[in-house]
Homo-oligomer: A and B are copies of this chain.
Amino acid sequence: MSEYIDNHDAARSVGVVEKRTFTFGGEGDELVLESGRTLGPVTLAYETCGTLNEDRSNAILICHALTGDAHVAGVHSEDDPKPGWWEIMVGPGKPIDTDKYFVICSNVIGGCMGSTGPVSPDPKTGKPYGTGFPVVTIGDMVRCQRRLVDHLGIGTLQAVIGGSVGGMQVLEWSVRYPDRVRAAVPLATTTKHSAQAIAFNEVARQAIMADPKWNGGDYHETGRPEHGLAVARMVGHITYLSDESMRHKFDRRLQDRHQLSFDFEADFQVESYLRYQGNKFVDRFDANSFLYLTKAADYFNLENQHGDGSLVAAFARASCRYLVVSFTSDWLYPTYQSRDMVKAMKKNGLDVCFCEIEAPWGHDAFLLPNERLNSLIAGFLGRAGEEGGACPAGFTNGGSCDAL
């Protein structure tokens, strides 16, 4: 995602949080992946905030998006200037209120933010897996998260919440472990990538694999494919914004100049921004991880994996309440894809609230400050105890919000 809002407010922050790890699947107990291959041991990096109540019924699992991490809220030390990626949403008195809920967030497997992934040492060789790492799926990620939830002694999650590829994990949780999820909030997501979404990911992968430094994925001793990864990130970035938001943010304004350069420097602010984002990403992310995570997103297909080709059949397995949110200008996972999932949920008689939020910021909108989103999530979680209650205020009245 393109931007994390740095609005750390100590008074409303969860404060200092600790990055923890949980390891399972040691020798003889390896995880059998959906591909049929095995993986073990598996380490998950995770963080928690808030307090688990006595009957362990107030846990909320947050699933991060493509290149996110477990650091959802708070800071890692008193003088850490950078709060978690969803600081605006998670904290005391915030929509996901840590005075009420115990929040868990873990880095996905295949990632490079502390959980087992292609940068981890292969126990057979002691060297990074590289492309020897098995291809993992959204289902595999969720199965690992379930192990973590078990480990924390939590039976049923009060809610699972996430946007984009995190939203895929939310959907997967709801149909794979229906008795472990009371409520699910998939934001700005889809039950399967369109051809266009696959195409963008494939171009990004090709940019990485075209970099000779990628070296078949074996670059840990020879130098990383930084140019390829930067280009890959730039492709992604365009899809996280919208035509309108890019016009608003950059239009055709020039960068540090009054005249066109008539060379191949970055003339326009948008060029400079993309180059900066690409280069910044290279510092924090592993190229192979990017390949694995985009592949997992492309493979995700809820109806095939759980409904034998029928989305209605897939949701027949679910029993939780849903809050589905899309954004008008999100062209990566357009609203029609949310409507399709909502229809399939409703055909199963599930309790579904759906809202398309008017927002010009493109796919990234779910990460940006939005009062509407805040009130929807807070309202939806607030009625968690009630059975069969109405959707939160605004759903049935607003033009684009409806209970369906």
Contacts and interface: CB of A to CB of B under 8 A. Distances in A.
Contacts of A192: 252
Interface in A304-346: 331, 334
B234 A268 contact: no
A154 interface: no
Residue from A193, A206, A241 with most neighbouring chain B CB atoms (10 Å): A206
A102 to B, nearest CB: 35
List the number of copies, as a whole number.
Answer: 2
A270 B199 contact: yes
Interface string A226-249: 011011001101100111001101
A195 B291 contact: no
Contact of A243 (B231, B246, B262, B334): B334
A10 to B, nearest CB: 36
Contacts of A242: 196
Contact of A211 (B210, B235, B334): B210
Contact of A228 (B131, B210, B260, B274): B210
B298 A268 contact: yes
Contacts of A211: 210-211, 227
Contact of A206 (B194, B267, B278): B278
Nearest to A272: B202
B252 A195 contact: yes
Contact of A193 (B238, B252, B262, B264): B252
A250 interface: yes
A56 B181 CA distance: 78
A200 interface: yes
Contacts of A274: 199, 202-203, 206
Contact of A198 (B134, B234, B237, B271): B271
A275 interface: yes
A299 B249 CA distance: 19
A29 interface: no
Contact of A196 (B194, B207, B238): B238
Contact of A194 (B194, B247, B262, B266): B247
Interface string A35-76: 111000000000000000000000000000000000000000
Contact of A238 (B199, B228, B237, B271): B199
Contacts of A203: 231, 234-235, 238, 274
A295 interface: yes
Contacts of A31: none
A250 B207 contact: no
Residue from A196, A198, A264, A271 with most neighbouring chain B CB atoms (10 Å): A264
Residue from A131, A196, A212, A246 with most neighbouring chain B CB atoms (10 Å): A196
A198 B35 contact: no
A195 B278 contact: no
Given A194-B246, A195-B268, 8 more contacts: A36-B262, A194-B247, A198-B270, A199-B270, A206-B275, A235-B235, A264-B295, A331-B331
21 contacts: A192-B252, A194-B243, A195-B243, A195-B268, A196-B241, A198-B252, A198-B271, A199-B234, A203-B235, A205-B264, A206-B230, A206-B234, A206-B274, A207-B210, A209-B264, A210-B231, A252-B301, A267-B298, A267-B299, A268-B298, A331-B331
